[in-house]
Amino acid sequence: MTMKQKEITVNSTLIHKGKIIDLYKENVRLPNGKETIREIVRHKGACAVLATTENDEIILIQQYRKSLDKVIYEVPAGGIESGEDLAVCAMRELEEETAYRPKDNNVIHLAGLCTTPGFSDEMIHIFYAKNVVRTSEKRDCDEDEFIEVLLLSEAEVLEWISTGKIIDAKTVCAFFLYQQYKTDNLVQG
């Protein structure tokens, strides 16, 4: 970053402290010396996991999202607990939301992504879990989560993305990162 682009925080005010996010109003000095206001959402970060079964089915969840006022399809994901290892978070969220877990208790970190850098500092870490197995019939979702688990083929997921049935950005990114990971590992042997 060059100094020609850096914004200097003059002051920062907490507007709202929430369960998942905090909202700040920051007065900043721009590179040209003028001042403006930035509204910034602070988030603890999250992990998402694209998981495949032994039959190469991709596990998605279906849940209602109030912010969109509709049901959408997503990879399992959730917030990182304070001090929690990223891989542990990914496996915990996968098991809580789907009752599936990697046989070898191993997940592969594919990427860390900024979700909406125009107004939020949220980073979501995308993981891949292969050959997952069902651990129980009961899922341990949060009390405010109502989730249905879906098993889809890779072709079905691609079709759902192409037709706009899957609109969740982390899920789209996770799917294409997974495809790239598979391609790279086939080439390398």
- Rounded to a whole number, what is the distance in angstroms from the first to the last CA of the chain? 38
Q: Is 21 helix (H, G, I), strand (E, B) or coil?
A: strand
143 is a catalytic site residue? yes
List own/partner pairs for 66-75 with CB under 8 A and 24 or more apart: 72/166, 72/167, 72/168, 73/150, 73/160, 73/165, 73/166, 73/168, 73/171, 74/48, 74/166, 74/168, 74/170, 74/171, 75/48, 75/49, 75/50, 75/51, 75/168, 75/170, 75/171, 75/174, 75/175
Cα gap 168→183, rounded to integer Å:
23
Cα 25 to Cα 40: distance, rounded to the nearest angstrom? 6
Helix (H, G, I), strand (E, B) or coil at 132: strand
Q: Which of 95, 143, 156, 159 is catalytic?
A: 143
Residues marked as catalytic: 143
